[in-house]
Amino acid sequence: MKARGALMIWLDRDLQWSGLASGKRGRPSLFSDAAIQFCLTIKALFGLTLRQAMGMVESLLKLAGLSWPVPDYSTVCRRQKTLKVRIPYRPAAQGLHLLVDSTGLKMMGEGEWKRKKHGAEYRRQWRKLHIGIDAQTLEIRAIEVTPNSVGDAPVLPSLLGQIDPHEALLSVSGDGAYDTKACHEAIALRAAQAIIPVRKNARKTWKENRPGARARNEILRATQRLGRDIWKRWSGYHRRSLVETKMRCVKLVGERVNARDFDRQVAELQVRAAILNRFTQLGTPVTVRVG
């Protein structure tokens, strides 16, 4: 327990801090995307404002003995809108079992106490975060940010599109909201198994003229014959609780989105995903084979 309270920030001296020439007209960027992502990581990790985060980055560089220049807070804010966040992950060696889910993050509005005391305000707005995690490593492999009016099912093809096509995708697990023809078709096109329960009011089979329809019909028949509880245990559906736990970890980093522009909100949540993946990698036990 004492070691968990220790604070250690490791800075790679070989990090490409300065920006490189892009080959386009105009002056090249003074700072690289890695430098901007590092500044945003410090901001998200310690819950700071941009000005405070830049002061902490400057102190960290001095403590590390690095003479790198520190970007201004306005530079970081401007670059955040177009930042390509790098999310580290480990490819699945024996095939990927993807678990998908979504949650809401508050963007605008008062706290929960005022809502319960005086009622909800019309200005309360939310962003919807959709993620897909590896069931083995628990790392976030796909992430999408949408307005709260967008449902879960339309985002699944985009999540699957973020998985390397050369990586074997074995299964995709989701709740009943993903029981649509488009979702089953997207999963079937990746030659993966759909572990998605049919809706409770589902009674009829689909016409098998689209990919994934036959697999969905088999789930429906198995559910009608065995019951939903037995099918969930038999198919391994309860493994999906791991992605719900990961959603809780996302909210521990921040319960609300601080940026006001949508593109900056996407970058902010992607930085949080990169932080969680790094924590997951550092917390995974390393097995050393002797002999």
Q: Do β-strands 125-134 and 140-147 pair in parallel, antiparallel, or remain unpaired?
A: antiparallel
Q: Are 175 and 156 within 8 A, CB to CB?
A: no
Sign (positive or negative) of CA dihedral 114, 119, 123, 124: positive
Higher-confidence residue of 290 and 162: namely 162
Q: Which residues contact 130 (CB under 8 A, 6 or more apart)?
A: 100, 101, 102, 142, 143, 144, 145, 146, 152, 155, 159
Closest to 60 in 3D by CA, of 110, 11, 121 = 11
Residues 240-264 have pLDDT tens digits of: 999 999 999 999 888 889 998 999 9
What's the Rg (C-alpha) of the chain?
A: 22
DSSP bridge partners of 193:
171
Overall pTM surpassing 0.85 (yes/no): yes
**pLDDT tens digits along 32-78:** 999 999 999 999 999 999 999 999 999 999 998 999 999 999 999 99
Reply yes or no on whether the pLDDT at 171 is more than 90.
Answer: yes
Q: Residue 167's pLDDT band (boundaries 50, 70, 90)?
A: very high
CA dist., res. 11 & res. 161, Å (int) = 33
- 271 CB neighbour count, 10 Å cutoff: 26
pLDDT 10s digits, 16-25: 998 887 777 7
**Beta carbons of 130 and 143 less than 8 angstroms apart:** yes
Dist. CA 61–CA 35, nearest whole Å: 12
C-alpha dihedral (40, 46, 49, 50), degrees to nearest 10: -30
* 83 vs 34: CA distance, rounded Å: 9
pLDDT value, residue 284: 63
